[in-house]
Structure 1
Amino acid sequence: MKRKNIVSAMIFLVLVALTFYAILKGNDMGEVAVAVQELQKGYLIEAIVSAIFFVAMEGTMIWYLMRGLQEPVVWRRCIGYSFVGFFYSGITPSATGGQPMQLYYMQKDGHKVSNSTVVLMTVAVIYKFVLVVLGAGILLFYHVPLKEYLKNYMYLYYLGLLLNVVLVAILLFVMISPNCFKGIVTGGEKLLKKIKLLKHSEERTEKLIKMADQYHEAILFFGKNKGKIVVVIVGTLLQRCSVFFMTWLVYRGMGMSGQSMLTVMILQASVYIAVDMLPLPGAQGITEMMYKTVFAQTFSGAYLAASMCVTRGLNFYFLLIVSAVVALWCHVQSGKSKRGIQKET
Structure 2
Amino acid sequence: MRVSKKNVFNVVFLITVFALTLYGVFHGQDMGQILGCIKQCDIRYWMISILFVVFFVEGESVIIYYMMKKVGQNHVKFLHCILYSFVGFFFSCITPSATGGQPAQIYYMKKDKISIPIATVILMIVTITYKLVLVLLGVGVMIIRPEAVMNFLSPVLYWCYLGIALNCFCVGFMLLLVFHPTMAKKILFFGLDILVKLKFVKRREYHEERLNKSMQQYSEVAVFFQANKKVVFNVIIITIVQRFLLFFVTWLVYRSFGFKEHGANLIMVLQGMISVAVDMLPLPGGMGISEQLFLQIFAPIFKSYCLPGMIVSRGLSYYTELILSAILTIVAQLTIGRRKD
Please classify the TM superposition score into its range, dividing by the shorter chain length: 0.7 to 0.9
**Aligned equivalent of 1:231, options 234, 239, 258:** 234
Structure 2 distance, partners of 1:329, 1:180, is 43
Structure 1 distance, partners of 2:59, 2:110, is 21
Query: 2:32 corresponds to which letter in structure 1?
Result: G
Give per-residue Cα distances to partners, 1:72-107, cap 9 Å, x unaligned: 211111111111111111111111111111111111
SS at match of 1:299: helix
Map of 1:59-208 to 2, 5 A cutoff?
A: 59-72=61-74, 73-142=76-145, 144-177=147-180, 194=203
Q: Offset of 1:36 from its aligned partner?
A: 1.6
Q: Offset of 1:159 from its aligned partner?
A: 0.6
SS at match of 1:277: coil
SS at match of 1:298: helix
Query: 1:332 corresponds to which letter in structure 2?
Result: L
Q: Offset of 1:19 from its aligned partner?
A: 1.8
Q: 2:14 corresponds to which residue?
A: 12
TM-score norm. by structure 1 comes to 0.84
Structure 1 distance, partners of 2:318, 2:73, is 31
Q: Offset of 1:16 from its aligned partner?
A: 0.9
Contact kept, 8 Å, 1:114 with 1:212, in 2: the verdict is: no
SS at match of 2:114: coil
Structure 2, unmatched stretches of 5+, are none
- Indicate how the Cα distance of structure 1 residues 285 and 221 shifts in structure 2: closer, same or farther if over 3 A, else same: closer
Q: 2:279 corresponds to which residue?
A: 276
Q: Offset of 1:309 from its aligned partner?
A: 1.1
Give per-residue Cα distances to partners, 1:97-126, cap 9 Å, x unaligned: 111111111112110212111110111101
SS at match of 1:157: helix
Query: 1:300 corresponds to which letter in structure 2?
Result: K
Query: 2:259 corresponds to which letter in structure 1?
Result: M
**Aligned equivalent of 1:43, options 32, 42, 45:** 45
Structure 2 distance, partners of 1:115, 1:280, is 29
- Indicate how the Cα distance of structure 1 residues 215 and 108 shifts in structure 2: closer, same or farther if over 3 A, else same: farther
TM-score norm. by structure 2 comes to 0.85
SS at match of 1:239: helix
Structure 2 distance, partners of 1:7, 1:122, is 28
Structure 1 distance, partners of 2:15, 2:220, is 44
Structure 2 distance, partners of 1:139, 1:171, is 22
Q: Offset of 1:282 from its aligned partner?
A: 1.4
Structure 2 distance, partners of 1:280, 1:214, is 27
Structure 1 distance, partners of 2:289, 2:275, is 11
Contact kept, 8 Å, 2:162 with 2:277, in 1: the verdict is: yes
Query: 1:237 corresponds to which letter in structure 2?
Result: I
Q: Offset of 1:6 from its aligned partner?
A: 4.1
- Indicate how the Cα distance of structure 1 residues 109 and 241 shifts in structure 2: closer, same or farther if over 3 A, else same: same
Query: 1:74 corresponds to which letter in structure 2?
Result: K
Give per-residue Cα distances to partners, 1:187-217, cap 9 Å, x unaligned: x9xx99948999xxxxxx9xx97x9878745
Contact kept, 8 Å, 1:69 with 1:218, in 2: the verdict is: no
Query: 1:35 corresponds to which letter in structure 2?
Result: C
Identity %: 38
